[in-house]
Amino acid sequence: MPHDHDHPHSLLPPDPALRVKALETILTEKGLVDPATLDEIIDTYQNRIGPKNGAGVVARMWHDPAFRDAMLSDPMPMLRELDLYGRQGEHMVFVENTDAVHNVVVCTLCSCYPWPLLGIPPGWYKSDAYRARIVREPRAVLAEFGVDIPKGKKVRVWDSTAEMRYLVVPQRPEGTDGWGQDALAELVTRDSMIGTGLAMVPTP
Amino acid sequence: MSRVHDMGGRYGDGPVNPEDGAIYAEDWHARALALTLAAGALGQWNIDTSRHARETLPPKDYSRFTYYEKWMAALANLLVERDMITLDELQNGHARGQAPSDLVDRALRAEVVAGVLASGSAYDRLATPPDFAIGDRVRTRKRAHNATVPGGHTRLPSYAAGAVGEVVLRHGAFVLPDTNAHGQGEAPEPLYAVSFSACDLWGDEGSATDEVILDLWQSYLEPA
């Protein structure tokens, strides 16, 4: 049941850094948390899991049509095989940008995000402004990211209201014919996989 | 009737700042995330309980807190609510003693972190076949509210309440947050991606070409 009248959190220190410290200290002293565990979690998402994972998958989808088709129909078997399964990425759906459709992802109710492929979300993704506005005025928000969508092109906003996690497959830039997968992956930015950016265009 | 987290479509938030791209703006943000995951691993609540704990922060606190401050406040409240720490301990910033040994035994150890994060936690379940087919027109609940718990958790945002859309994907059956958040069981239901025309949601402000797609459980929907 909701407990709208008890707010123990107000007993914590005013400085947010000290609030975290206080909770960590209490839980450590109680034997419920090991600071080494926290270090390990932080290291995982700072150094091992991030947008490079997603970029590799997108580049392979651009490069390998059979892989692309498999990822668009059901990505989970392949993601498991590639060790890209995990927390907050248990149920992935890949949505592809085309000449007719531009996709963009949000979670208006909290900040759901495909961790195994993109890591932890950036500040703006978690901001009230993004959560409030991208569903109502996606074109204006995209313009703030420097992305202008032509009038006739559909903008499709995916609000992650369940445990499905969406990853945008940006359009492959012109001038990349014959490129290898690793070189292609360098063009795939984090924002292009959320939909607030496009893949980078190679400099001639 | 609504809660402060349910902000989709709201006015007044100003521009989005794409420069705010760091995953942690402060060192303690990373610590807050890790502490939340480690505490969650003790198994005393589920992801829906945890979301609801953030949503039930007082609107004033929710709005003034930065993202990870919400997480810390919700964690403190859950720990007290589940009798895992006392108000006295919270106030003093120190424990008065060890937790019961069965709980201590569940503490997440550093050497298993990678494996636990990689094994995830699937939310799909075997359940009844879906009522709706792809292409069906459906109408969402008139109000975005939990049908059995007043003020309880739900994943239907207010902006999409009472709207008519079209089923575009059938995801299978998933744990229902509306019950799972409140200790009422998983009650799995078919989950659908439902597409709404921007004009149907936002009137003249929406572009006729654009759409918003939400994942919605069967009990949120009726035939339209």
Q: Is residue A3 pLDDT above 80, yes or no?
A: no
Residues placed in the known binding site of A for Fe(3+)? 107, 110-112
Q: How confident is the model at residue B55 (pLDDT cuts 50, 70, 90)?
A: very high
Q: Which residues does chain A have within 8 Å of residue B98's beta carbon, measured at their own beta carbons?
A: 29-31
Helix (H, G, I), strand (E, B) or coil at A51: helix
pLDDT band for position A6 (cuts 50, 70, 90): low
Chain A touched by B164 (CB under 8 Å): no
Has residue A21 got a pLDDT over 60? yes
Partner-chain contact B42 A32, CB within 8 Å = yes
- The pLDDT, as a whole number, for residue A1 is 45
Checking if the pLDDT of B161 tops 90, the result is: yes
Judge whether B27-119 and B124-223 match in fold.
no
Q: Do A9 and B122 touch (CB under 8 A)?
A: no
Residue B128 has a pLDDT of 78
Give the dihedral of Cα atoms B174, B177, B183, B189; nearest 10 deg.
-30
Between residues 177 and 196 of chain A, which touch chain B (CB distance below 8 Å)? 190-191, 196
Q: Given B18, B97, B174, which is nearest A145 (Cβ)?
A: B18
ipTM of the complex: 0.97
Q: Is B69 in contact with A14 (CB distance < 8 Å)?
A: no
- Interchain CB distance below 8 Å, A26 and B149: no
Compare all CA atoms of chain B with the CA of A190 and give the residue at the minimum distance.
B21
Q: In the structure, what pLDDT confidence band is assigned to residue A203 with cuts at 50, 70 and 90? A: confident
Query: What confidence score (pLDDT) does residue A5 get?
Result: 55
Give me the mean pLDDT over the B49-71 stretch: 95
The third-level CATH classification (topology) of the domain covering B27-119 is Cyclin A; domain 1 (1.10.472)
Q: DSSP string of B119-139?
A: H----EE--PPPS--TT-EEE
User: Chain A contacts of B26, Cβ < 8 Å?
Assistant: 16-17
User: B171: nearest CA in chain A?
Assistant: A164
Which residues in B lie closer than 8 A to residue A133 (C-beta atoms)?
10, 13, 16
Q: How confident is the model at residue B2 (pLDDT cuts 50, 70, 90)?
A: confident
Q: Are B2 and A5 in contact (CB under 8 A)?
A: no
CB contact under 8 A, A123 and B156: no
Tell me: the pLDDT tens digits for B24-34?
A: 999 999 999 99
Q: What is the pLDDT of residues B82-133, one digit of tens each?
A: 999 999 999 999 999 999 999 999 999 999 999 999 999 999 998 778 999 9
**For A85-114, how does the pLDDT look when each residue is reduced to its tens digit (9 = 90+)?**
999 999 999 999 999 999 999 999 999 999
Please give, rounded to a whole number of angstroms, the shortest distance from the CA of A65 to a CA of chain B.
Answer: 23
Establish if B203 touches chain A: CB-CB under 8 angstroms. no
Structure tokens belonging to residue A123: 């500040």
Neighbouring residues of A91: CB distance < 8 A, sequence distance ≥ 6? A76, A163, A164, A165, B122, B123, B124, B171
Q: How far, in whole angstroms, is CA B161 from its chain's centroid?
A: 17
Q: What fold does the segment set B124-223 form as a domain?
A: SH3 type barrels. (2.30.30)
Mean pLDDT, rounded, for A26-44: 97
Residue of B196, B212, B220, B221 to mutate, testing the A interface (most A Cβ within 10 Å of its Cβ): B212
Domain coordinates of chain B in residue numbers? 27-119, 124-223
Structural domains of chain A in order of their starting residue, each with its CATH number:
17-47 (no CATH), 49-194 (3.90.330.10)
